[in-house]
Amino acid sequence: MFIKKLTSIVIMSAAFMLWGCSKQKEAKAPLKVAVSADWPPHEFFDIEKNEIVGFDIDLVKLIGKELGYKVEIVDMDFAGIIPALSANKVDLAISGITRSKEREEVLDLTQDYYVPEFAFVSKTPVDYADPKNLVGFTVGAQMGTTHEMQLKALQKEMETEYKVEPFTYKSFAKAPDMVRELSDDRINAILIDLPLAKKVQAQHSTFVISPYLTQDLQGLTIALPKGSKLTPRVNAAIAKIKRNQKLYSNLKKKWGLKAG
């Protein structure tokens, strides 16, 4: 009888240990992070390292470390990020995502972690201060981005306030595609982040940069499924990292981003 009881205790103990190990493994499952890896210096594929790297990647790995998770990067078209979050196929997304009313209605958005700068890239300077100068232009941007939102707002302004025919807008799934069309003279200009504009210009001697200044430009944020339990923890991690001014400044410096 004693042996049977002892055996039962051993079996139950082993079962609890296995259950505990299973729960521990479940808790340590990596965070699935959606990115569109065609947007240097925030996220892009490094051929030499054979991996996705960038400012956003370094930042989300620091966040994962703060939360006790490893990070699994999931590359996709930018336009597919919100649907992936809404379907809970990924835990969060960091990919040059700016705050907007439309996004806040369907997603959790964290505090800003960086304020971007936009620029037109073209073969001749773009004087957008007077939108009439854009009449007859075809301007490209990446699908689903704030650049697209800005261009559509500019189109509306041309129609309602300036009473002129707006430029033609063309959307692209990937940034390299629109750069290629600009190089081949199929479009007149593209709107992208300034750091990327500088990289593109360095590779195309005929390209010029026209900084795009707007008063309503929002900062970059991390997006999570609506009501995610991770949202407050990710917010706290961002705040902690930003408080470490030396760490955060060095991270931005590493990727050529403005210090402010």
Over residues 34-51, the pLDDT tens digits come to 999 999 999 999 999 999
The band of 223, judged by pLDDT with boundaries at 50, 70 and 90, is very high
Would the pTM count as exceeding 0.85? no
Range of the domain at 60: 31-115+218-254
Contact at 8 Å (CB) between 54 and 41? yes
What is the pLDDT, as a whole number, of residue 53?
98
Same domain, 191 and 147: yes
Please report the DSSP string for 21-41 in residue order: HHHHHHHTPPEEEEE-SEETT
Is 172 contained in some domain?
yes
When the pLDDT of each residue in the chain is averaged and rounded to a whole number, the result is 89
Whether residue 212 has pLDDT greater than 70: yes
What's the CATH number where 206 sits?
3.40.190.10
The rounded percent of the chain whose pLDDT value lies above 90 is 73
Same domain, 245 and 175: no
Same domain, 153 and 232: no
Half-sphere exposure for 13 (CA within 13 Å, toward CB): 6
Whether residue 8 has pLDDT greater than 70: no
Is 19 contained in some domain?
no
What is the pLDDT, as a whole number, of residue 260?
59
Q: Which of 13, 232, 227, 193 is nearest to 114 (CA)?
A: 193
- What value does the mean pLDDT take over residues 55-65? 98
- What value does the mean pLDDT take over residues 97-112? 93
Whether residue 23 has pLDDT greater than 50: no
d(CA 123, CA 208): 6
